[in-house]
Amino acid sequence: MPLQIITIPCLSDNYAYLIRDETTGQVAVVDVPEAAPVLNVLKDMGWQLDQILITHHHYDHIDGLEEVRKATGAKVYGAKADKHRLPPLDVSLTEGNTFKLGRQVCDVLDVSGHTIGHIAFLFKGAAAVFSADSLMALGCGRVFEGDFAMMWGTMLKFKALPDDTLVYSGHEYTMSNAKFALTIEPDNADLKARIKDIEYKRANDIPTVPASIALEKATNPFLRADLAEVKALLGMETATDAKVFGEIRSRKDRF
């Protein structure tokens, strides 16, 4: 039985996700930018929240946590490495840990770079990964705490996932990411086709997430730093993959 996933817009451009194992009815939320939208959807669906899964310590991913915890009694899961700066955790996680939401197995990935201690939640059985501010639709998070080599290592973890895995990231930044991606690869046909789809979705107020790993690999410049064609476009034919990633990330910071 699959995982039911509801995308909940929060704040100005964040997403929280409610996920429900349909076999057992167990429910989790991934990140809590604010409490009210999450509690409202729970009420509308008639669901009880069992788990609060936190990707990283930034306020726009945890601000509603305590209110939702108090209202639901759900257990809080987060990175051990972030324990000192997250609200109290019931379960501390490191890479390689697995836990269950009902019958669904979740693998914990360390996807540091944006922050150190950023984790992603991978549900292989449902072909879904919750990546928040690590890999984003057509982009990646700004590298605040790690370095470019570390963030490139994180990109490689996503590249290694099965092509049909859907990436549920933490923000609706896709349109501005698309404009930047075009400056790196103006002739990428898959990218141009994807931008048409993004324009349609935004015009109709439809989230541009999730997107598949296959589509990200074909269009997201941050996953393409190891390709000879991308290195050539940047005049960096002999540079390491991590250096090329760093150049693309630096350009995006100035974009």
Q: Where on the chain is the footprint of Zn ion (CB under 5 A)?
A: 58, 133
**Interface with Fe ion in residues 59-78 (CB under 5 A):** 60
In angstroms, what is the minimal distance from the CB of 79 to Fe ion? Answer: 15
113 binds, among Fe ion, Zn ion, none (CB under 5 to 8 A by kind): none
Residues in the chain: 255
In angstroms, what is the minimal distance from the CB of 253 to Fe ion? Answer: 15
Between 111 and 191, CB nearer to Zn ion: 111
In angstroms, what is the minimal distance from the CB of 130 to Fe ion? Answer: 13
Could you tell me the end-to-end alpha-carbon distance of the chain, in angstroms, rounded to an integer?
43
Between 57 and 231, CB nearer to Zn ion: 57
Do residues 121 and 81 make contact, with C-beta atoms less than 8 angstroms apart?
no
Between 93 and 230, CB nearer to Zn ion: 93
Stated as kind and residue range, the H or E segment containing 101 is strand 98-101
Q: Does 133 bind Fe ion (CB under 5 A)?
A: yes
In angstroms, what is the minimal distance from the CB of 59 to Fe ion? Answer: 9
Do residues 5 and 27 make contact, with C-beta atoms less than 8 angstroms apart?
no
Q: Does 172 bind Fe ion (CB under 5 A)?
A: no
From 5-13, 93-101, 133-141, 156-164, span contacting Fe ion (CB under 5 A): 133-141
Q: How far is CA 73 from CA 196, 239, 245, in A?
A: 43, 51, 42
Burial class (CB in 10 A: 0-12, 13-18, 19+), 176: middle
240 Cβ partners below 8 Å, 6+ apart?
Answer: none
Enumerate binding residues for Fe ion (CB under 5 A): 60, 133, 170
